Chains A and B, each alone.
Chain A
Amino acid sequence: MSLLKIKLSFSGGIELLFDNIKQKSVEISSSINSPNPTTMKDLISWMKDNLLKERPELFVSGDTVRPGILVLINDSDWELEGELEYEIKDGDDIVFISTLHGG
C-alpha cells in the first residue's frame, strides 16, 4: 500500500459544503478497499466521511455524487473516464462543480 497525493477542487457553490474551501490537496491510500485499487467510488465515500462538513445529501446520492454535480478528472468529463470505476492515480486533479446554483 502506498499513498496517493491528489488535488481536489470545488466550485459552482459546492465549496460551501466543504468549509468554503475551493482547493485542497489530500493523501489517500492507494487501496482503501484492500486489495482493490482505490477508485472514484472509494474517493467519494472517503470525502463524505473525512471532508464533508454539512448536509451530505447535497453531495452524495447512494454511492455516487448527486445528479447535477459535474466531475472532471484531469480536466476531462468523468463520464469519459469510467466514472465510479476510475482508478485514482498519484497526482490526479479532480474537480467537482455544482450546476444546481442559480443562473
Chain B
Amino acid sequence: MGRLCVICDKERAIIKRPKTSQQLCRECFYYVFETEIHNAIVDNKLFKKGDRVAIAASGGKDSTVLAHVMKLLNERYQYGLELFLLSIDEGITGYRDDSLETVKRNQQQYDLPLKIVSYSELYGWSMDQIVKEVGLKNNCTFCGVFRRQALDRGAVMLNVDHIVTGHNADDIAETVLMNILRGDIARLQRCTEICTTGDECIRRSKPFKYTYEKEIVMYAYFKKLDYFSTECIYSPNSYRGHARTFLKDLETIRPSAIIDIIHSGEAFEIKKEVKLPIQGVCKRCGYMSSNELCKACVLLEGLNRGLPKLGIGKTHRMRKIHGDMPQDTAIIPHFNNIKIDDNENNNVIIDESNKSKEKL
C-alpha cells in the first residue's frame, strides 16, 4: 500500500476525494479543501471588507469546521471581516444544552464573540415545552420555523450584515430532492443559491455549498476539531431521512451524484406563467413573509391559544371555528424593535438564556 499524493507526489495519500477521485496527502487535502471554500467565497463575492459576519454555530461538525475555516481564511486572505458566533438555544434538555457546551469551547478555541439566543426568551416556549404540547409529530416544523427567525433576530442584535451557515453540498442536494418530491417550486428555485437576501433582510450564505460532507468530516477528524454529534432526541424527521439515505446510496455508486443534483437544481428554470409567492412582511411581527402573517406568528398563536394545530393544517378552517386571536395573547416582539447589543459586550459570552433565568 502507500500510494502517493497526486499533487505533491511525495507524501502518502490519506483521502480519496469524492468529487474528483483524486488521492491526496494530508497537507495537500487541507490546502485544496480550504482553497475551494476561499474560491467559492471570492467567485460569488459573498463579503465586503469590514462586513460583520455571524457564523451560525450549533456545535455540530459543519458549523465547527465552518468557524475554523472562516477564521483561518479571514486571516490568510485578509477579508477584513469581523466574525461572531451565533447560537440558538432551542431548549432541548440532553441535546442542545450539551451541544452549546461545545460551542462555548469553540468560542474559547477560536477566540470569537459568542451570542446565544433562546426560544424561551424569544417565543416564551422551549422545545421541551412545545413537544409536551404538540407531541412528536409536527415538532420539527416548530423548531425549523422558529430557528430560522431566531437566527435573523440574533443577527440584528449583533448588528451583523451577514449570516453564514454550515450547509454543505450533501445538505443542498438533499433539499433539492425534497423540494422536487414535495413540488415546492418556490423553494426549489431558492435552495441552490449560495447567497440569499430579502429586501431588508440580512444576507445569508453557504460557503460550503460545494463542499462534500465526507471532506468536512475528514477535515474535522485530521484537524482534531472539537464537535458534538448526537442525534436530536426529538427528530425522527423521516422524510429528510429517506432523502438522505437515497442520496448516500447514490453517492456510493457515483460520488459526483451530489454535485450533479445541485447542478440540476441550479439549471431548473421556472416558466413565467407559474405564480410564485410574493415576499412581504408579517403584519404582526415584521419578519419577512409571503403571507399576511408569518409562519412563526401563526405557530406561536396556536401554542398560546392551546390550538397547536393552528399553523399545521388548515389555518382558515381553524380560524372559522375558534375566531381571531384574542387581544391579550402573547406575540413575538416586532422585528423593528429589536435592540442592538452594546458593542462592549462583544468579547464575552452573551447568553440571553441565563439572563432571563436570573431575572426569575
Contacts and interface: CB of A to CB of B under 8 A. Distances in A.
Interface stretch (A28-36, A41-49, A71-79): A71-79
B62 A103 contact: yes
A98 B16 contact: no
B231 A102 contact: yes
Contacts of A67: 245, 248-249, 251-252
Interface in A10-54: 11-13, 16
Contact of A76 (B12, B61, B252): B12
B15 A12 contact: no
Contacts of A99: 61, 170, 213-214, 217
Contact of B60 (A75, A80, A103): A103
Contact of B217 (A16, A70, A76, A82): A70
Interface residues of B, number: 35
Interface residues of A, number: 24
B229 A12 contact: yes
B219 to A, nearest CB: 12
A98 B213 CA distance: 11
Contacts of A75: 14, 222
B229 A102 contact: yes
A70 B231 CA distance: 17
B102 interface: no
B13 A80 contact: yes
Contacts of B62: 103
Q: Residue among B16, B214, B217, B235 with the most chain A CB within 10 A?
A: B217
Interface of A: 11-13, 16, 66-68, 70, 72, 75-77, 79-82, 95, 97-103
B311 interface: no
A100 B61 contact: no
Question: Secondary structure at chain A's binding surface: helix, strand, loop or mixed?
Answer: loop
Contacts of B1: 76, 80-82
Contacts of B168: 103
B14 A13 contact: no
B107 interface: no
B230 interface: yes
B309 interface: no
10 contacts: A12-B61, A12-B229, A68-B248, A70-B214, A75-B14, A76-B14, A77-B218, A80-B23, A82-B1, A99-B213
Contacts of A77: 14-16, 218
Q: Residue among A12, A68, A70, A100 with the most chain B CB within 10 A?
A: A68
A96 to B, nearest CB: 11
A98 B249 contact: no
Contacts of B61: 12, 99, 101, 103
For the complex of A and B, the 9 pairs showing the least CB-CB separation, nearest first, are A103-B62, A67-B248, A68-B248, A79-B16, A13-B229, A103-B60, A67-B252, A101-B229, A77-B15
A68 B216 CA distance: 12
Interface string B230-264: 11100100000000110011011000000000000
B211 to A, nearest CB: 11
Contacts of B60: 101-103
B126 interface: no
B3 interface: yes
B118 interface: no
